[in-house]
Structure 1
């Protein structure tokens, strides 16, 4: 089983490999929506998202992000605060061809907003189940506590 430090490292690697998450504001009665996280290695505990100014997340506030790795072997739920942070230097740093496809006006598109999500805490699960555990699951056997994988509740995702 991995310790909390290893799980945090695995989280950032998995997220970089497949940066697609669900994010929603807490208490607004709206469903979460899929967005692509933009990662900046210089920003600890922070995710960025390019959104339209008319997006329901633009009002900001307490938010939750859910992540499932593409191999379905890592899961995370992140709690924090979302807010618009239109720092042009950060927009320039994170800009890429995929973002450009959504904003035809480029970095100066009048509807462009950079949403910053600051992580307060996180809960993460990694399924590093043994081969024997996978066989038990496949055929309905009993999974013991040491077979299921790793789990961590953390106050920071910094490695």
Structure 2
């Protein structure tokens, strides 16, 4: 599998799952919260909308290291992304992510100074893209037991994205 294929798979899984847990450090403890992800494959970045008064904004200002995790057990797809987060007030990027649902969530307009974006620049990501057919999974597990081999349950790849 080529590096480009790995990147394509990574962003495809993130786009399919679209809600991930953003993990940041809060006074020596890790804290996670669900966030809607917006990927930018041109820059290999992952974006989120946030309120400037949220705790995560302060946490990221003190420590840019974050982790993103995405999971869909039903389809056996999982992603873990380590990266650096930064806060942005890029009006064009905020506009790209804004929707009626976001307006309800934020209870303001997109140009409100309280609305900001978090950009995560991944350094390393690992994904598991599993076989979503239960019958195929059972076949692979049964075959592995009979042949004393490992079952082929999908792809597991690590992708280094830091320059």
Is residue 75–residue 131 contact of structure 2 (8 Å, CA) maintained in 1? no
Residue 35 of structure 1 and its aligned partner are, at CA, apart by 0.5
Counterpart-to-counterpart distance in 1, 2:22 and 2:29: 13
Mark the CA change 1:128 to 1:110 in structure 2 (over 3 Å): closer, same or farther.
same
What are the equivalent positions in structure 2 for 1:97-136 lying under 5 Å apart? Answer: 97-128=100-131, 131=135, 133-135=137-139
Residue ranges of structure 2 left out of the alignment (5+ in a row): none
CA RMSD across the alignment: 2.9
The answer to whether 1:48 aligns with 2:52 is no
Q: Which has the higher strand share?
A: 2
Residues 138-153 of structure 1: pairs in structure 2 closer than 5 A: 141=145, 144-153=149-158
Structure having the larger proportion of residues in helix? 2
Secondary structure of the residue aligned to 2:138 is: helix
Report SS of the residue matched to 2:101. Answer: helix
Structure 1 residue 5: Cα displacement: 4.3
Counterparts of 1:108 and 1:32, CA distance in 2: 27
Which whole-Å deviations, capped at 9, do the CAs of 1:127-159 have from their partners, x for residues lacking one?
238845424658xx57832423221111139xx
Query: Which residue of the partner structure matches residue 33 of structure 1?
Result: 33
Q: State the secondary structure of the residue aligned to 2:118.
A: strand
Please, which runs of 5 or more residues in structure 1 have no aligned partner? none
Instruction: Output the TM-score relative to the length of structure 2.
Output: 0.77
Structure 2 distance, partners of 1:124, 1:33, is 20
Task: Give the count of matched residue pairs.
Answer: 154
The structure whose RCO (Cα within 8 Å, separation 6+) is larger is 1
- Give the deviation of 1:97 after TM superposition: 1.8
Partner in structure 2 of residue 16 of structure 1: 15
TM-score by structure 1 length?
0.79
